[in-house]
A and B are shown apart, each in its own frame.
Chain A
Amino acid sequence: MTSAPTALNSYRALPDPDGHFGNFGGRFVAETLMPLILELEQAYKDAKKDPAFQKELDYYLKHYVGRANPLYFAERLTEHLGGAKIYFKREDLNHTGAHKINNCIGQILLAKRMGKTRIIAETGAGQHGVATATVCARFGLPCTVYMGSKDIERQSPNVFRMRLLGAEVKPVKSGSCSLKDAMNEALRDWVTNVEDTFYIIGTAAGPHPYPELVRDFQCVIGNEAKEQILEQEGRLPDQIIAAVGGGSNAIGLFHPFLDDKDIEVVGVEAAGHGIHTGKHAASLSAGKPGVLHGNRTYLLMDDDGQIKEADSISAGLDYPGIGPEHSWLKDIGRARYEPIGDKEALEAFKLCSELEGIIPALECSHAIAQVMKEAPKMGKDKIILMCLSGRGDKDIFTVAEALGVEL
């Protein structure tokens, strides 16, 4: 294992004051946004030091989100695979059905603290859009969600949910009409409405301080899981696994475990139709470092630096980049990242539904597919802890279509 490159000999000390995780991260934004980003950075620093902020956050996480959610022993899946014991961290049981709300509660409390009166967000699968629309309804702030027109089509239930919650959903028809283009459009809105608007970014990416603050808000996943596994097993897991799109649920699970150096950390990328086909979203496995959406990170692009369209059955993983901390973890070797294709994810989706009575989101079905590869290779005394980041109800139409079933 590569030694930790920080003075503290910790994998948890970054980013540096300029928002860098090694060579990754940074603040690559238009000048118009710089004062806003610096203001946010200061506001977040202040909030972190303020016990009242943490108390308010804890209150909503408990009474509104429904935390702590269970760490569930997936007994039948464990038996079926015949190897390591498998635990699911049940983020699907949160209010709104995914991990996204952890971050949204944190960011909207920050927005309120900063006196912002309007919220914007981008969304891919719609889970972050729903979570944002939800907290906006709860705190009485107007909300505009940008969503690729292609995603609107394949995630119509979530679009309806957002509208029910009072959000305005704006279809984005530029570029590949998916998550990256929705993010471009949200940035265009932000640069236009600098006075009153707070941009709730949905993943641990974007300009500093977003990768840090989204990670911190998502660390509740790993912190709870750590406590729970110690309670249930009396020891830490041998391996932790999570799916990565932008990578927020993964970094939220990973980060609290990074300094437990015996734990193997595995991120799962969407390989779509297969890496060899070029139709995938595996930026760590098949991309290279570049600069997009405010940070340097691994990206899918051509030789001219033009960003390529990502492809995955899961709209939430359909992004040609990745959070900068994952890029760093990959490069220093603290985490490994494995590609899982659409077909494998579908198999995992079905297996989990049938064996555990849990319909998982297509995003974390990729993680389950990786568990299906890892667990049989490990002894029965080993433990895998996986983040089940969301529920799959939103995906039933996509899955039905992929399986050739007419609803």
Chain B
Amino acid sequence: MSDAIIGGQDRIAKRFAKLREEGRAGLVTFITAGDPDPEASFEILKALPEAGADVIELGMPFTDPMADGPAIQEASIRALAAGMHMRKTLSLVRGFRDQDHETPIILMGYYNPIYIYGVAVFLEDARNAGVDGLIVVDLPPEEDAELCVPTVEKGLSFIRLTTPTSDDKRLPKLVQNTSGFVYYVSVAGVTGAGSATNDQIVEAMARLRRHTDLPIAVGFGIKNATQAAEVARQADAAVVGSAIVSKIAESLDENGKATDKTASMVTGLVRELADGVRNARN
């Protein structure tokens, strides 16, 4: 079996096993595929592991990202304006896999572009491209038959979002059918908004641990190395999205085009975040 089609669950499990061995939490970084344009996006993507990303979430652009705050909304708009679409997102992953066989890639987004692509074809193409898992914001367990079950059958992970509104009654339903890791959205809100307090995260982690042995990644509202380190002391991984995407926005010229600083500004921030995460438990 070639590396490119190693079952996605393996790559994620191996990565979290390695993190456990190293006695540290991981850094999960989010960028939107094709932001600010397909070429620059590929440069950023390729540079992420070396800068310290342990897992990569790659946003699938969508016109109506109703769970995202302004930063990630604008990233989607930039990507779509630059001609991004699902087939290009998958070729971005394929290009990445040609040189990196170990860093898990999770595609994240909304259901409609996948539904329109066709679930079976999408899963086939995603797996062949080297995708390891999916996070689909608008597919709660009530709609598992749509995509979650076929994804897991295909050997990819379907990573579930759990939230402050996920109580002990709801959590068993949420961790069922899920694999890879569990993503804890630490605040009720859109991406990039406020952040949770340490106490809230400790409490939520305890609640989640009662229901699952999967690694737990915590995200939403983590903007800098200090916050990332705080989360890394409690969780198996810290997820950073809006702050990275905002760095891309900041690096653009007056016409919204990528500059020679774009990739380096992003990797600069990722390095800081990785330092924070890696030194959190020292």
Contacts and interface: CB of A to CB of B under 8 A. Distances in A.
Contact of B165 (A175, A194, A292): A194
B86 A305 contact: yes
Interface residues of B, number: 43
Contact of A27 (B67, B137, B142, B190): B142
Interface stretch (A29-37, A109-117, A123-131): A29-37
Interface in A278-315: 290-294, 299, 301, 303-307
Given A304-B113, A305-B117, A34 B64 contact: no
Contacts of A394: none
B165 A36 contact: yes
Contact of A31 (B64, B86, B110, B163): B163
A339 to B, nearest CB: 23
A30, A34, A299: most-surrounded residue (chain B CB, <10 A): A30
A304 B163 contact: no
Contact of B64 (A27, A32, A36, A180): A180
Nearest to B62: A306
Interface stretch (A76-84, A185-193, A244-252, A322-330): A185-193
A222 interface: no
B271 interface: no
A18 interface: yes
Contacts of B113: 304-306
Nearest to B87: A304
A290 B110 CA distance: 11
Interface string B183-195: 0010011100100
B174 interface: yes
A89 to B, nearest CB: 33
Nearest to A184: B66
A60 interface: no
Contacts of A193: 188
B158 to A, nearest CB: 13
B67 to A, nearest CB: 4
A293 B170 contact: no
B206 interface: no
A299 B114 CA distance: 15
Interface in B76-125: 80, 85-86, 110-117
A30 B174 CA distance: 12
B67 A191 contact: yes
A33, A181, A188: most-surrounded residue (chain B CB, <10 A): A188
Contact of A32 (B68, B114, B117, B165): B165
B21 interface: no
A305 B165 contact: no
Interface string A183-211: 11001100111100000000000000000
A28 interface: yes
Interface string A12-36: 0000001000000011111111111
A32 B163 contact: yes
Contacts of B110: 291
Given A30-B67, A187-B66, A35 B116 contact: no
A192 B63 contact: no
A23 to B, nearest CB: 11
A42 interface: no
B115 A291 contact: yes
B200 to A, nearest CB: 14
Nearest to A180: B64
A345 to B, nearest CB: 27
B11 to A, nearest CB: 24
Contacts of B73: 174
A290 B160 contact: no
B166 interface: yes
Contacts of B161: 30-32
Given A31-B140, A192-B193, A305-B62, 17 more contacts: A18-B142, A30-B161, A31-B166, A36-B165, A180-B64, A184-B65, A188-B67, A191-B188, A192-B188, A192-B189, A192-B190, A194-B165, A291-B111, A291-B112, A299-B112, A306-B80, A307-B64
Interface of A: 18, 26-36, 174-175, 180-181, 183-184, 187-188, 191-194, 290-294, 299, 301, 303-307
22 contacts: A29-B138, A30-B66, A30-B137, A30-B138, A30-B161, A30-B163, A31-B161, A31-B166, A31-B174, A31-B185, A32-B164, A32-B189, A35-B165, A181-B64, A187-B66, A188-B190, A191-B67, A194-B165, A291-B111, A293-B64, A306-B113, A307-B63
What are the 7 closest A-B residue pairs judged by CB atoms, nearest first? A305-B116, A305-B113, A192-B189, A304-B85, A32-B163, A184-B66, A305-B112
